[in-house]
Every structure is written in C-alpha cells, then in structure tokens.
Chains A and B, each alone.
Chain A
Amino acid sequence: EVQLVESGGGLVQPGGSLRLSCEVSGFTLSYYWMHWVRQAPGKGLEWVSFIHTDGTTTRYGDSVKGRFSISRDTAKNTLFLQMNTLRAEDTAVYYCVRDGGNVGFDYWGQGTLVTVSS
C-alpha cells in the first residue's frame, strides 16, 4: 500500500526556518518525481516544488524560489522541504505528492500545517 506521511509542521516566527519531512512507503522514492503542494487556510491549491528522479533536478514556484529547497534521502525513503525566511503568506497545509507520470498526482499525504506568526 502506498503511503506518504508528512511531519515537521508547526508554529514559526516570521523570518524563521522549518524543515518538512515526508516518509514514503509502498514504492521506491527514487523511481518517481515528487512534489510539494500547499494550501493556505480556506484557499486553493498551489504547487510549490518538484524533484526529478535524478535527485538533482529541481524546480520551485516563484513565491518560494530562493527560500525553499527540496531534497530527498532515498535510503530513508524520505522527501524533505527546507523552508527559510518564512513569511506570513507561507502559512498553509503542505502536502507531499507522488507524480505518477502521465497519470498525474496520484498519491497525496495527509498534509502538515505550517503557521508563520509572531
């Protein structure tokens, strides 16, 4: 059974940092593109970041470019999102998502809430 379990969310002050983790099971992390997608309270979905199967090719949304960094540890089957210089507008539920290729975003984690506030 495919599972994605995020952790690491919480309350952080503006300007602070947080690292999200996503432990996956039921599939091999290195075989799939992976993404982070976020959803601000009461708002829609926003794509945040992507990592290729090669582990080095990454992309970021304009709103997080230069502040967030995606990475993975294939030995631990874990995806990460390092978030620096956090802003109030980064407050959201962050979802870890598997990219099934042409089938789209086929598996999602349950999400982890990040709240940026003083």
Chain B
Amino acid sequence: EIVLTQSPATLSLSPGERATLSCGASQSINNYLAWYQQKPGQAPRLLIFDASNRATGIPARFSGSGSGTDFTLTISNLEPEDFAVYYCQQRSNWPYTFGQGTKLEIK
C-alpha cells in the first residue's frame, strides 16, 4: 500500500498570505495525485487532478505541482473561504489512498 504523508498537520496563516502544503508518497506515483478540500460538515471537493490540473470551477489561486514522490499544493492570496482541511490522494496503485490531511486555519 502506498502511504501518503502530508505536512504540516496544521498551517496557521492570515488571509492574503500564501499557503504551501506538501504531500509525499512512499513510492513513485508518477503524476497520479489529486487534492481535495473539505470544510466542516461538507463532502470533500476536488481541486487538482493529475498533480497540476485544476478541476472545473476551481480558482486560479489554487495550483499543484510535483511528480514521482513529492507534491505541493499552493494557494496564493488566501481568501477567508480557503480555510479548511486539504487531502491528497493517489490513484497510481490499488488500494487508492489518502493522506492524513492538512488543516489550514486562520492565524
């Protein structure tokens, strides 16, 4: 099973700042990585697929990068609605796995 490790566990920033979230895979997953955002009481929402492609309707301030084992989600110019939990997920190998999540909180 591929293990995804997200860091940091919690990130405290202010609106307008830049957030950098990391996701490391225990073995190469090529670019088969997605990022999801989850707000309290809601289902996750797809942000990024195949490491760097924004899903439909996702603002340009969200960007993804990386390949192989190291991936990054960057949120530039944080908006109040961006404070949430973010998960990475790999679909390179079965079973599909998620990272443990990074909570982005308001400082």
Is A102 within 8 A of B50, CB to CB? yes
Q: Is B11 an interface residue (CB 8 A)?
A: no
Which residues from chain A sit less than 8 Å from chain B, CB to CB?
35, 44-47, 50, 59, 61-62, 95, 100, 102-106, 108-111
Q: Once the chains are docked, how many angstroms separate the CA of A61 from the CA of B43?
A: 20
The stretch among B14-22, B66-74, B87-95 that forms the contact with chain A is B87-95
Contact check: which of A45, A102, A111 meets B49 at CB < 8 Å? A102
CB within 8 Å of A: which B33-70 residues: 34, 36, 38, 43-46, 49-50, 53, 55-56
Q: Once the chains are docked, how many angstroms separate the CA of A46 from the CA of B55?
A: 21
Instruction: Name the CB-closest residue of A to B87.
Output: A45
Size category, B interface: 20 to 34
Is B49 within 8 A of A44, CB to CB? no
* 10 tightest A-B CB contacts, nearest first: A104-B34, A108-B43, A104-B49, A45-B98, A47-B96, A103-B49, A44-B101, A44-B100, A61-B95, A106-B46
Instruction: Name the CB-closest residue of B to A96.
Output: B43
Q: Is B97 an interface residue (CB 8 A)?
A: yes
Shortest B31–chain A CB gap in Å is 10
Question: 20 more A-B contacts (CB under 8 A) besides A46-B98, A47-B89, A103-B49?
Answer: A44-B98, A44-B99, A45-B38, A45-B89, A59-B95, A61-B95, A62-B95, A95-B44, A100-B46, A102-B49, A103-B46, A103-B50, A103-B55, A104-B55, A104-B91, A105-B46, A108-B43, A108-B44, A108-B45, A111-B43
Q: Once the chains are docked, how many angstroms separate the CA of A100 from the CA of B56?
A: 12
Instruction: Name the CB-closest residue of B to A103.
Output: B49
Q: Once the chains are docked, how many angstroms separate the CA of A102 from the CA of B53?
A: 10
Contact check: which of B55, B94, B98 meets A59 at CB < 8 Å? B94
Give the chain A neighbours of B87 by CB distance below 8 A: 44-45
Give the chain A neighbours of B49 by CB distance below 8 A: 100, 102-104
Please, could you name 10 A-B residue pairs with CB atoms under 8 Å apart, sorted by A? A35-B96, A45-B44, A45-B98, A45-B101, A46-B98, A47-B95, A104-B91, A105-B44, A106-B46, A111-B43
Is A106 within 8 A of B96, CB to CB? no
